[in-house]
Protein backbone atom coordinates (compact mmCIF):
# COMPACT_ATOMS: atom_id res chain seq x y z
CA UNK A 1 0.00 0.00 0.00
CA UNK A 2 2.83 2.41 0.77
CA UNK A 3 4.94 1.92 -2.38
CA UNK A 4 3.03 4.46 -4.53
CA UNK A 5 3.03 6.95 -1.65
CA UNK A 6 6.79 6.50 -1.15
CA UNK A 7 7.40 7.03 -4.86
CA UNK A 8 5.23 10.15 -4.88
CA UNK A 9 7.09 11.63 -1.88
CA UNK A 10 10.44 10.78 -3.51
CA UNK A 11 9.41 12.44 -6.77
CA UNK A 12 8.28 15.56 -4.90
CA UNK A 13 11.61 15.96 -3.07
CA UNK A 14 14.01 18.61 -4.32
CA UNK A 15 17.41 17.61 -5.71
CA UNK A 16 19.86 16.59 -4.40
CA UNK A 17 18.27 13.58 -2.74
CA UNK A 18 19.75 10.35 -1.47
CA UNK A 19 18.26 7.08 -0.23
CA UNK A 20 19.61 4.73 2.45
CA UNK A 21 17.82 1.38 2.66
CA UNK A 22 17.88 0.44 6.35
CA UNK A 23 17.61 -3.22 7.23
CA UNK A 24 17.01 -6.50 5.51
CA UNK A 25 13.25 -5.99 5.16
CA UNK A 26 13.69 -2.69 3.32
CA UNK A 27 16.51 -4.07 1.18
CA UNK A 28 15.00 -7.38 0.11
CA UNK A 29 11.67 -7.95 1.81
CA UNK A 30 13.39 -10.01 4.51
CA UNK A 31 11.90 -13.37 5.35
CA UNK A 32 8.47 -12.23 4.19
CA UNK A 33 7.48 -13.19 0.66
CA UNK A 34 3.94 -12.71 -0.51
CA UNK A 35 1.95 -10.66 -2.99
CA UNK A 36 1.47 -7.74 -0.57
CA UNK A 37 5.16 -7.08 0.12
CA UNK A 38 7.55 -5.32 -2.24
CA UNK A 39 10.74 -7.36 -2.40
CA UNK A 40 13.11 -4.45 -1.87
CA UNK A 41 12.59 -0.71 -1.78
CA UNK A 42 14.91 -0.41 -4.80
CA UNK A 43 11.94 -1.54 -6.91
CA UNK A 44 10.20 1.70 -5.90
CA UNK A 45 12.97 4.31 -5.53
CA UNK A 46 16.67 4.26 -6.48
CA UNK A 47 18.77 3.23 -3.45
CA UNK A 48 22.22 4.72 -2.93
CA UNK A 49 23.39 2.83 0.18
CA UNK A 50 22.16 -0.45 1.71
CA UNK A 51 22.59 -0.84 5.49
CA UNK A 52 22.19 -4.52 6.49
CA UNK A 53 20.84 -5.90 9.74
CA UNK A 54 17.60 -6.79 11.44
CA UNK A 55 17.53 -4.09 12.65
CA UNK A 56 20.74 -2.32 11.61
CA UNK A 57 22.91 -1.39 14.56
CA UNK A 58 23.55 2.29 15.25
CA UNK A 59 27.17 1.68 14.21
CA UNK A 60 26.02 0.27 10.87
CA UNK A 61 23.75 3.26 10.29
CA UNK A 62 26.56 5.70 11.12
CA UNK A 63 28.87 3.79 8.76
CA UNK A 64 26.24 3.98 5.98
CA UNK A 65 25.82 7.73 6.49
CA UNK A 66 29.61 8.26 6.51
CA UNK A 67 29.94 6.16 3.34
CA UNK A 68 27.22 8.20 1.64
CA UNK A 69 28.87 11.43 2.78
CA UNK A 70 32.22 10.31 1.36
CA UNK A 71 30.63 9.42 -1.99
CA UNK A 72 28.94 12.82 -2.14
CA UNK A 73 32.17 14.70 -1.32
CA UNK A 74 34.17 12.83 -3.98
CA UNK A 75 31.46 13.15 -6.67
CA UNK A 76 31.54 9.36 -6.85
CA UNK A 77 27.82 9.12 -6.14
CA UNK A 78 26.76 10.90 -9.33
CA UNK A 79 29.19 8.82 -11.41
CA UNK A 80 27.71 5.59 -10.02
CA UNK A 81 24.17 6.85 -10.62
CA UNK A 82 24.98 7.78 -14.23
CA UNK A 83 26.53 4.37 -14.92
CA UNK A 84 23.59 2.37 -13.60
CA UNK A 85 20.73 4.74 -14.30
CA UNK A 86 19.51 4.02 -10.78
CA UNK A 87 20.89 4.49 -7.29
CA UNK A 88 24.57 4.19 -6.44
CA UNK A 89 23.94 0.62 -5.17
CA UNK A 90 26.61 0.69 -2.43
CA UNK A 91 26.50 -2.09 0.19
CA UNK A 92 28.11 -1.47 3.58
CA UNK A 93 29.11 -4.17 6.03
CA UNK A 94 27.20 -4.94 9.22
CA UNK A 95 29.03 -3.58 12.27
CA UNK A 96 28.55 -5.35 15.59
CA UNK A 97 27.46 -3.11 18.46
CA UNK A 98 30.14 -2.12 20.94
CA UNK A 99 29.82 -2.99 24.59
CA UNK A 100 31.60 0.17 25.71
CA UNK A 101 29.15 2.49 27.46
CA UNK A 102 28.78 6.00 26.16
CA UNK A 103 29.15 8.63 28.86
CA UNK A 104 27.52 11.99 28.38
CA UNK A 105 28.54 14.97 30.48
CA UNK A 106 31.28 15.27 33.06
CA UNK A 107 29.46 14.24 36.24
CA UNK A 108 30.90 11.04 37.72
CA UNK A 109 28.54 8.47 39.36
Nearest to 88 by CA among 107, 66, 72, 100: 72
Decide: helix, strand or coil at residue 20: strand
The DSSP output letter for 100 is S
**Domain 3-91 falls under CATH 3.40.50.12280:** yes
- The 10s digit of each residue's pLDDT in 62-107 is 888 988 888 888 877 777 666 656 666 666 667 677 666 655 566 6
Sheet with 90-91: list strands edge to edge: 20-22, 49-51, 90-91
Q: What is the pTM of this model?
A: 0.72
Of residues 68 and 38, the one with the higher pLDDT is: 68
Is the four-CA dihedral 56, 61, 94, 77 of positive or negative sign? positive
- How do the domains of the chain map onto residue ranges? 3-91
Going by pLDDT thresholds of 50, 70 and 90, the confidence category of residue 12 is very high
Amino acid sequence: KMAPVLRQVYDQMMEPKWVISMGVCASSGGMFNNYAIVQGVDQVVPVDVYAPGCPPTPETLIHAIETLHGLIENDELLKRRDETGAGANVHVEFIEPTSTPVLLGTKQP
